[in-house]
């Protein structure tokens, strides 16, 4: 009897458990993975401009107007005139700076002894508070000039280069010991600020130099305090080593 029961059990077909929901889930997951792999990448939006549409905000500076007599002109370490000294009734003696390439216009309007009215702004730095010339007017002649209307000079004059050999020239430095020029007789060889800082020690200990330079024309607005012929140095050779400085 028992054997017949076992036989009956073995002859019955085995019913598999319904796996349709699991199969559907697997298919859906596969479809999602395939979609993620083949979908086009999302384009990155360009970064917004850094406030190019907004006007540039400048530091506010006070402008003042004062009348006085031109007493003298001062120069920078490059020996270019870049400041005037006025004798005024209200403020006594004051010195007002201006950009060197505007010197010819400033002196033309305000010669020594002339009564002028100047507009200037405060130009504070970490060390001192300086005055920057904005405009100048000759009270007797009535002529005037706004300095911002004057174009800046070219970095390098568009003229033919010349070669020089300098032996024992005068070394000209600024207030911090930086090399700004070499002077020989009535020739001044001008280095742009900062371009020879790396070779300044080599220049200071040498006494012979080979230069390639171009003449700075007088009509650019600069005025050398000694009326030297000024050259802009393009390259300097020391001990057979050539350095481009422009």
Answer for the pair 216, 80: CB distance below 8 angstroms, yes or no.
no
Could you list the residue range(s) of the whole structural domain that residue 192 is in?
A: 162-244
Contacts of 15 (CB under 8 A, 6+ apart): none
Residues 102 and 127 in one domain: yes
- The CATH code of the domain that includes 200 is 2.40.50
Do 171 and 139 lie in one domain? The reply is: no
CA–CA dist 83, 134 (Å, integer): 12
What digits encode the pLDDT tens for the residues 108-136?
Answer: 999 999 999 999 998 766 555 689 999 99
User: Of 64, 62, 113, which Cα lies nearest the Cα of 85?
Assistant: 113
Q: Give the least confident one: 22-31, 63-72, 103-112, 114-123.
A: 22-31
What CATH number has the domain bearing residue 136?
A: 2.40.50.140
Residue 1: pLDDT above 70?
no
Does residue 38 lie within any of the structural domains? no
Give 88's strand partners.
Answer: 92
**Does 102 map to a domain?**
yes
pLDDT at 48 over 60: no
Total domain count, the chain:
2
Residues 6+ positions from 120 with CB-CB distance below 8 Å = 63, 64, 65, 66, 96, 131, 132, 133, 134
Angle at CA of residue 167, ends 162 and 171, nearest 5°:
90
Q: Where are the beta strands (DSSP E) in the chain?
A: 63-75, 81-88, 92-97, 115-124, 129-138, 144-146, 162-167, 170-173, 179-184, 187-190, 208-215, 229-238, 241-244
pLDDT of residue 128: 58
HSE (CB half, 13 Å, CA atoms) of 144?
Answer: 13
The reply to whether 140 and 170 lie within a common domain is: no
Joined together, the tokens standing for residue 126 give: 């970490």
Domain limit, last residue, from 124, 149, 174? 149
pLDDT value, residue 228:
95
Together in a domain, 100 and 168? no
* Most confident by average pLDDT, 9-23, 26-40, 143-157, 188-202: 188-202
Please say which residue of 115, 149, 183 terminates a domain. 149
Complete DSSP assignment for 151-215? PPPPSS-SS--EEEEEESPEEEE-TTS-EEEEEETTEEEE--TTTTTTTHHHHHH--EEEEEEEE
Check whether 42 has a pLDDT greater than 90: no
Residue 176 lies in a domain: yes
Q: Which of these three, 85, 117, 149, is where a domain ends?
A: 149
Q: Are 117 and 76 within one domain?
A: yes
Is position 178 within any domain? yes
Is the pLDDT higher at 53 or at 101? 101
Residue 233: inside a domain, yes or no?
Answer: yes
> 197-235: per-residue pLDDT in tens?
999 999 999 999 999 999 998 788 999 999 999 999 999
Look at residue 42 and tell me if it is in a domain: no
Q: Global pTM?
A: 0.70
């Amino acid at each position: 009897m028992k054997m017949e029961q076992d036989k009956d059990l073995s002859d019955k077909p085995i019913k598999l458990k319904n796996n349709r929901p699991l199969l559907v889930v697997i298919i859906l997951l596969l479809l999602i993975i395939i979609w993620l792999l083949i979908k086009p990448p999302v384009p990155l939006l360009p970064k917004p401009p850094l406030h190019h549409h907004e006007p540039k905000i400048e530091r506010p500076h006070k402008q003042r107007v004062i009348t006085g007599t031109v007493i003298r002109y001062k120069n920078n370490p490059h020996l270019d005139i870049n400041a005037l000294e006025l004798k005024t009734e209200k403020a006594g003696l004051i010195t007002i700076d201006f950009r060197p390439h505007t010197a010819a216009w400033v002196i033309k309007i305000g010669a020594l002894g002339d009564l002028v009215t100047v507009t200037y702004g405060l130009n504070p730095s970490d060390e001192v508070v300086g005055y920057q010339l904005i405009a100048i007017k000759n009270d007797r002649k009535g002529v005037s000039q706004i300095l911002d209307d004057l174009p800046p000079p070219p970095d390098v004059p568009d003229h033919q280069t010349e070669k020089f050999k300098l032996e024992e020239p005068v070394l000209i430095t600024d207030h911090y010991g930086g090399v700004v020029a070499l002077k020989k007789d009535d020739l001044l060889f001008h280095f742009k600020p900062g371009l020879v800082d790396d070779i300044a020690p080599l220049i200071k200990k040498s006494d012979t130099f080979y230069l390639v330079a171009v003449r700075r024309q007088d009509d650019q607005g600069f005025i050398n305090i000694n009326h030297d012929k000024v050259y802009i140095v393009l390259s300097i050779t020391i001990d057979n080593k050539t350095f481009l400085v422009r």
